[in-house]
Structure 1
């Protein structure tokens, strides 16, 4: 029976590909005028959401941009949005529609998203149906996806006339084995895969035997923020993020016991919400750190909160490309971070624009924080150089790299379209080390 099932699936896949090849011959001319970006929960709170909003706002200068959110579980967005960017929600869980069919499918787990994908529990058969219908409805334009499950679905389902771009916000090395196997097989069908770090780019080059046409690293840009640059006089250290185990806030609070004993006048403020919040509140109480560690919850204006601090601390077990470090740098804070090779290590030059600490070592983290507290000259030097580093991640500088990538992908598709070979992307990739940034004198294309 299993052998028969495999044969049936294989035959269905061949028919599916043959159908797309027939459609490709009559596909409209390639275009990047319309850009759609798939996101899990556009009204949620998280680094990926904020960076997608930032990118969408930049692209809206020249393109028609729509963010397509799988879920809608909040009435209003947590982060400010550019009014030029359109929004679409595939599964509105505030006002469910779909009748008995939706009720039935929403109770069943997804078959489209890998079970080991970190957000698998957010998907259902109903979201599968809505996502498949949406992706298959597109004939042209650009479709970007922003997490492994959505990248895999895009690679599998997008029609040949659609330019497909996958973004990876989490390091390949941290993905479960099941997801890595699917990535190795399906990502070759994407037109481009964009990583945030050089380390992750290297891992994909080593892992993917057949690669997308373009495999490039484009970092996130510093988003717009309220408030000004920190005066570095406040006796406050701050951390920001979703309160999950991976963020390591329990380690930071443990380290702060040592810091508070040496410098009782200093306060640690941890901004965010999440499933670990109650455990962290209890940890603070048991350690006798009330008044010395504050957990005020999520804030809408992160920039204003960073301005009120002097030190930023990142205690995560691992990170892809932590936007909070960039934001803290742009606010002129002194950075202390665990040394993760897929994010902080690339963003921070140790002893220059921040301090890197051996991961998961509470005592070392406490010692580094105390060092920055006690050495004001060091604190101000680190902060000044952090400001210089943040300028290299300016929105326009990073945006030009996206312009160059989209221009390259469109030019390739147009060549194929003009020669009558159809819009199906070539398997042979472009040079992997080709620069994504265009020369300074090249104007942004108007397509």
Structure 2
């Protein structure tokens, strides 16, 4: 079994959840995470026992003359509208296709639109293919959606994280895969104990990208800091240097340098969550926020924008957290202040949050993957009269421009 990632040694929710899944599957299977690129010598997240990691384009050492030459040319297989387009090249195209075409059997799981599109096109007929959506269909460009409509029907199964996104794919795909289903991400046990909710600390977690809405969070926190100057907001995450510089400048302009702190990345986020009392999510959109589940597993209630699609499917308003209208900093600030000022509500939501997270443990979610894989293994062999037709080798005729 192989799981295809953009970069396995990076930091991000998709990487963390894929490694969690790989660790579960490796209990009884031969599992390899195949990373398209490698840009770091050591992994940010620990690789689970029994999981192998390989790289198609290792950029941390000396590269061959051919790799250096072909890396100068842009990718022709990944849509330009895909976020990872600029980090890939003609060399990664060739390496990716070579990897897929070398497979003769087994299972390959691809984990983002660009990789899904290439896998659907090039995986041999003897290989079981599963695509994953880690964000949401609605955020993809029209060009990417056009290719999704044409190619995702080639998959043996396609998995979304939320029911809302599953419904969107069901309406969008005219010829859906044989299996179109929802399997959420699982939360694993983290370091640190349960939060006592006695620290005057709010925590935010995420990469410094537009989707995470940290610019909106600055505006919200300015209101909270004025009402509760003894509280601090700790932001854990990283991003491109220019993105971090912009965020830091916003914080300074708002006069929040002493109360909104950029903490960098952390490999012990469970410990940091246990030292906080509220988790705030300011995202413009989410696929399925692992940070929400991780906070809940520590008994930390969540205050989140009710953005598409993930928060609503995890957080029950007024039970284990608070949901507010999306992109409304004032509403986010009001909800934060409400929890800060109401200790009874804070404690009740925290206790319920821990109960909610228990339903997403790795064994429960992993069992759903076991059922899917068993079902796919029991289907007729690909290429038989009763199986999907993926027997044709891609040619100049059916390799459409991307």
* TM-score band, normalised by shorter chain: over 0.9
The answer to whether the aligner puts 1:243 opposite 2:208 as a matched pair is yes
For 1:344-375, what per-residue CA distance to the aligned partner results, in whole angstroms no more than 9, with x for missing partners?
01111111111001011111110000000000
Indicate the residue corresponding to 1:160 in structure 2.
125
What are the equivalent positions in structure 2 for 1:160-199 lying under 5 Å apart?
A: 160-199=125-164
Q: In 1, Cα distance between the equivalents of 2:220 and 2:34?
A: 41
For 1:105-136, what per-residue CA distance to the aligned partner results, in whole angstroms no more than 9, with x for missing partners?
10000001111111111110000010010000
Q: Which of 42, 54, 61 pairs up with 1:95?
A: 61
What are the equivalent positions in structure 2 for 1:68-79 lying under 5 Å apart?
A: 68-79=34-45
Q: Which moved more, 1:184-193 or 1:291-300?
A: 291-300
Question: What TM-score does the superposition give when structure 1 sets the normalisation length?
Answer: 0.85
Q: Runs (4+) of structure 1 moved beyond 4 Å? A: none
Indicate the residue corresponding to 1:46 in structure 2.
12
Change (3 A) 1:38 1:375: same
For 1:79-111, what per-residue CA distance to the aligned partner results, in whole angstroms no more than 9, with x for missing partners?
011131001100001114322x22221000000
The answer to whether the aligner puts 1:307 opposite 2:270 as a matched pair is no
Indicate the residue corresponding to 2:252 in structure 1.
285
Contact 1:213-1:426 at 8 Å conserved across structures: no
Q: Superposition RMSD on alpha carbons, in Å?
A: 1.3
Contact 1:38-1:145 at 8 Å conserved across structures: yes
Change (3 A) 1:250 1:278: same
Provide the aligned length of Structure 1 versus Structure 2.
388
Q: Which runs of 5+ in 2 are unaligned?
A: 391-402
Q: In 2, Cα distance between the equivalents of 1:149 and 1:277?
A: 26
- 1:426 Cα deviation (Å)? 6.2
Indicate the residue corresponding to 1:112 in structure 2.
77
Q: Which runs of 5+ in 1 are unaligned?
A: 1-34, 428-447
Secondary structure of the structure 1 residue equivalent to 2:271: helix
Secondary structure of the structure 2 residue equivalent to 1:53: helix
Indicate the residue corresponding to 1:60 in structure 2.
26
Change (3 A) 1:104 1:424: farther
Q: Which moved more, 1:45-54 or 1:239-248?
A: 239-248
- 1:40 Cα deviation (Å)? 0.3
For 1:329-348, what per-residue CA distance to the aligned partner results, in whole angstroms no more than 9, with x for missing partners?
10110110000231001111
- 1:422 Cα deviation (Å)? 7.5
- 1:423 Cα deviation (Å)? 9.3
